[in-house]
Structure 1
Amino acid sequence: MVKSIQQIKNEFHSKGITFSDWAKENNFSPELVYRVLKMNRVPVRGESHKIAIKLGIKEE
């Protein structure tokens, strides 16, 4: 199931997880994770696309 960016933010907040920590644990750049979460559209390729899939805001 695809989640909205707001759902992801709420989930992280309720679990007490920071986006920076999540990025480091998943071998992504924290800056790029923040950029993906601030986009108005879902990424279609590259590292941003991988992040979107891993976060659950896009299907594989």
Structure 2
Amino acid sequence: MPGIRTAAQAKAWLEHQGKSVQAFAREHGVDPATTYQVLSGRKKGRRGEAHKVAVLLGMKEGVIVDEPRAQSHDEQSTN
């Protein structure tokens, strides 16, 4: 699969942009700890936020779907 980055390539890509892992995570609204874990290989990026991070870093192909928000008690009582 052309275009898929390894963890080392993803780190180099961030460095090339002059962007820290923290800045990348803030920019994309993801957890910095999860981002570090994906880059280190501790999380494979199979589902959830790790999947989103892996796709954003170009480490895997995939679709990012916004998870439906659970309605709060206040929202339920006004519907």
Please, what TM-score do these two structures have when normalized by structure 2?
0.69
Report which structure shows greater RCO (CA 8 Å, sep ≥6): 1
User: Can you give the 5+ residue segments of structure 2 that lack an aligned partner in the other structure?
Assistant: 63-79
In the alignment, which residue of structure 2 is the partner of 1:32? 34
Residues in 1 aligned to 2:43 and 2:35: alpha-carbon distance in whole angstroms = 14
Alignment of 1:40-55 (within 5 A): 42-55=44-57
Contact 2:35-2:53 within 8 A present in 1 as well:
yes
User: Can you give the 5+ residue segments of structure 1 that lack an aligned partner in the other structure?
Assistant: none
Using the aligned pairs only, state the percent identity: 32
In the alignment, which residue of structure 1 is the partner of 2:14? 12
The alignment's C-alpha RMSD in Å is 1.4
Residues in 2 aligned to 1:41 and 1:28: alpha-carbon distance in whole angstroms = 14
Larger radius of gyration: 2
- Residues 15-47 of structure 1: CA deviation (Å, up to 9, x unaligned): 211010010010001111111111166321111
Moved more, 35-44 or 13-22: 35-44
Please, what TM-score do these two structures have when normalized by structure 1?
0.88
Runs of 4 or more consecutive aligned structure 1 residues displaced over 6 Å after TM superposition: none
- Say which structure is richer in helix: 1
